[in-house]
Amino acid sequence: MSTNNSEVIISQANAYISNINRLFESIESKVSTDFIYSDNKVIIITTNKVAAFSNLNIVKRYIKELDNINSNNVMNL
């Protein structure tokens, strides 16, 4: 992920955490996002428990669909 994308995501992390958690709730997942932080041009999203691949896809899809980032720089899982 580019530095610019990381900065955008970190600047709005609280809103993104809430939105991701709502997505998890909508599929009745027991996983929830705890926090988002940046480390060397990547973002790290921590959860309350080990996430299944389907949970990771939800997060990936959410990040790629954000309007204010370059989705080409989002890594594939």
* Residue 43, strand partner residues: 38
Please, which pLDDT band fits residue 3 given cuts at 50, 70 and 90?
low
What's the pLDDT at 5?
75
Query: In whole angstroms, what is the distance from residue 2 CA to residue 69 CA?
Result: 9
Give tens-digit pLDDT for 13-51. Answer: 999 999 999 999 999 999 999 999 887 667 889 999 999
Query: In whole angstroms, what is the distance from residue 5 CA to residue 27 CA?
Result: 27
Please, which pLDDT band fits residue 7 given cuts at 50, 70 and 90?
confident
Kindly report the pTM of this predicted structure: 0.83
Beta strands in 2-73, from DSSP E residues, in sequence order:
33-39, 42-47
